[in-house]
Amino acid sequence: MMMMSMFARGARLSRASRVLAAGRQMHASAQSLASSGDGNDDVLNGPRESMDYDVVIVGAGPAGLAAGIQLRQRAAQTGKELSVCIVEKGSEVGAHILSGNVFETRALDALLPDWKERGAPLDTPVTEDQFLVLPDTKSSYAIPNALLPPQLHNDGNYIISLSKLVRWLAEQAEELGVEIFPGFSAAEVLYGEDGGVKGIATRDMGIEKDGTPKPTFERGMELRARQTLFAEGCRGSCSEEVMKKFDLRKDAQPQTYGLGVKEVWEVPEGMARPGFVQHTLGWNGDHFRYRPDWPCDAFAQALRQPANEVWHPVKHRDCVAAALDPGSRAAANLEASVRYMYG
């Protein structure tokens, strides 16, 4: 089993090496033209190297990686060969995913039932839930857990680092034969003669602010596929293009979106309460925080007003400030999210 895995990985690396070698040859030609100052249009619109796959997936988040894993699992079950490639714009898998997540395992149980034996980074079960109502700018009161509906209980869930989880999922995907290319963003959707999607092209690299090629210019690569799966997250540029081109939102209710902010704080180790999850509802929006098993405290909030009017006052509340002081912010992120109801 190990020998087969090493052989498959070696074959993938050999294939990638050939493409990189061809890319370096094209890069040398482009560098010669760019340095001369002539033929900029020829450089920018020159031919691209291409690779053919059965399936190309855009985005190495939980959805994209899970899709790649299941495709290869089903191919193995039916005895068919299916080539799967995932492109990820981050410098490495997980680079664009801020740590912190309360994780329910049902989907992972179905995807990889032996995830515990495989060493999935799910180490901190939720041990305590707290639900607070914020009626005004200062006060708060807790709702007894016995009065909360089942969906607001985290029994059996884990507090995890989502970036660690996707890196682990990437390892499982590669073991199954999925090729993952981090550091390559999908910049263009490719269409065939019949008008259908036939893959994507990665972004050109080494372009000046005025649009002219640098001496380090490298043409993007075409990744052609029988099927292309866009798992690039909310408001992804390629997904938006495809929805517009094929009018996929026709006769559908308008999609609504939310804006969320998340911070990860480092706190003294003695202040940590591993397994603790807190949710709030009321004044200036909803937020939640959770304690993993390392000395950090993660916060997140769905914004309904500008961040400086909502997020900063939350951190000065007694129920939150006591958990932060004397910690320091380690990371922060602002992102769009899909809302499943009007509001």
Q: pLDDT tens digits for 91-102?
A: 999 998 876 788
Three-state secondary structure of the chain: CHHHHHHHHHHHHHHHHHHHHHHHHHHHHHHHHHHHCCCHHHHHCCCCCEEEEEEEEECCCHHHHHHHHHHHHHHHHHCCCCCEEEEECCCCCCCCCCCCEEECCHHHHHHCCCCCCCCCCCCEECCEEEEEEECCCCCCEECCHHHCCHHHCCCCCEEECHHHHHHHHHHHHHHCCCEEEECCCEEEEEECCCCCEEEEEECCEEECCCCCEEEEEECCCEEEEEEEEECCCCCCHHHHHHHHHCCCCCCCCCCEEEEEEEEEEECCHHHCCCCEEEEEEECCCCEEEECCCCCEEEEEEEECCCHHHHHHHHHCCHHHHHHHCCCEEEEEEEEEEEECCCC
Query: Residue 237 has what pLDDT?
Result: 93
Q: What is the mean pLDDT of each run of 10 residues along the chain (343 residues)?
A: 37 50 47 52 81 97 97 97 96 85 94 97 91 82 90 90 94 98 95 97 90 88 97 91 94 82 78 82 63 53 49 69 77 77 44
So what's the pLDDT on residue 141?
A: 87
pLDDT (0 to 100) of residue 82: 97
The pLDDT of residue 22: 47
pTM assigned to the model: 0.82
The pLDDT assigned to 300 comes to 55
pLDDT at position 112 is 98
Each residue's pLDDT tens digit, 297-311: 555 555 444 444 455
